[in-house]
Structure 1
Amino acid sequence: MLNVLLVEDETLFAKSVLKRLQREGHTATVMETITDANEYLEKSLPDVILLDVRLPDASGLDFLQSLRAHQSWHAIPVIMMTAYGELEDAVQAMKLGATDYLKKPVDLDELVLTLNKVMQTQKLSQQLDYSHVREAHGSEPVVMIGHSSAMHSIKQQMERIIQLVDRAETEFPIILINGETGTGKDVLARYYHQSGKWRDKPFVHVDCAALPKELIEAELFGYERGAFTNAHQAKAGLIEVAEAGTVFLDEIGELPIELQSKLLNVLERRQVRRIGATQERPVSAHFIAATNRDLPQMVADGEFRSDLYFRLNVIQLQMPPLRERKWILHHSRRILSP
């Protein structure tokens, strides 16, 4: 459901729009002048503004420009409504940052579809903002706990890898961590990050299983302004945000196959291209992938690209299952008990 502000002075048209929006489950408020709209915005922020170009007290284009310059209102999606034949107004509106425009008389079915697109892109931007804030900074200190021979071996292997990477001057090896769910693959990845000289750089955790399919491309690779509806400004993807830190691709087996070639290109060429961009940007991050799935079998079944699997499988670590570690811990306690 959206909270819509309709700035429109044609009463009959405003009533028909209001009725249709309510039927679709949205709430709407009608303001007939820009002065009234400004007063409304001082008290409440709508999810989207439907704005006519021709209004009694001022131009809708001037109002749009003031919205984009306002600290609290600049990100509100604005759909302009222009009279038939006023193409120049529509073009000017898009240049000023309008999300979309509709020709009057407005087709109400088209209006509903446009609002649905706004809802989808708003959700996309909110999730991206959340991920950038949550993941692009440092993480809590990690301590590897485990006294079994298998865990001791894993820790030694990782420490040797870290020493190798510390001496590397250019491209860093890719690490693939296999293991059942709950075995601590993410802990091992964070241990790698915090034990190297790149520990002060970002650690970016990308959960390929949790991200919606329509979000993951923008999440990973970023996008340029205007790449899709409501993309008012360019945003770096998580691969780019990581800088010289670590990108942890958790549950890599869940990555949609149509995006696997794009990730492969990043890993091979160490370049990333944002959605809607014409130029690539250099990538200096460390890459760790993890999975609980049988990637060779997925390759055989056509569910995972073989070239991406071989690129990921440069250094492979196998996390021991919890049931083995539990038995060893219980056994050691029994021996030490009086």
Structure 2
Amino acid sequence: MELKGIHHVSAITANAPGNFEFYTKVLGLRLIKKTVNQDDISVYHLFYGDVKGNPGTELTFFEIPNAGQNRDGNESISAISLRVPNDAALEYWKNRFEEFNVEHEPIAERAGRSTLAFRDFEGQRLILVSDEHDEGVPGGIPWDRSPVPAEQGIVGLGPVKLTVSNAEPTALVLTELLGFRRKGTYPSAAAGQPDIQVFETGQGGTGTEIHLEERHDLPKERLGRGGMHHVAFRVDNEEELKQWIERVRKFKFPNSGFVDRFYFRSLYFREPNGILFELATDGPGFDTDEDIMHLGESLALPPFLESKRAQIEAMLKPLDTKQQSSASDF
């Protein structure tokens, strides 16, 4: 039993059309699945990733149209990293962000890597991280119809940052329950705050890391648009997931038990600071119910929701995703 790395991260948007435009046309990701939140079928759940949505490349969004603005703070997933091939790619992205008026910071070093922090149109906290010296779990394969050239393209999820008021209980869950290894520390950008701790799992590297920040100067986060809902970690298969379920129960964490999401199988629980963790299997995958050439073009529903299709489509505002971004659009 060993977690393989980051599986996906799910965030909140209040604007599905704007979200689709930003993540496909500016960031060049592929929309690999347009479906609904299985726990609230009245709202979209959009999945972005590499060419086929390989595990470790998936950034997903629940659309909650009336969501208020996220109030950043403690007990939160406070930043998502996206991997790019090398340091030179960061210069490309810096210029691209200036072209598209994307709010961004200067290129800076974090945990020994070159990075570029930016925000999307709703204030989502994102960081591009260079894989120039990475020797860990491989990234994904950029989509060849992306408006971003493959040599600069996003290849997956990088380190996920958690910000909490007391780091020790979360660190113990990462190491004692989930089997993460302590890798090191780096200075906080906030004056007078403890160093940020780095944990890794599996093969290690950018696609497997949690960066744990303890802050004594922040209120508790209020989740809204521009905020992050949960982080999921990679489990190899369903049989191993069942072993993880038993392990989480032995540690006496309230949990969801086995959940069939159709595209993967899951377990959910909250660590002591209240951040929602998910363990998710690598398969079956997003091409289970759609041709690989047409992922994300139409509303996909798992079989257990198909009988409600008419009801679901009546609740959703139309979202045209058939013409995804291509280089010729620019």
TM-score (norm 1): 0.21
Structure with max Cα Rg = 1
* Richer in strand (by share): 2
* Richer in helix (by share): 1
TM-score (norm 2): 0.22
Structure number with greater CO (CA < 8 Å, separation at least 6) is: 2
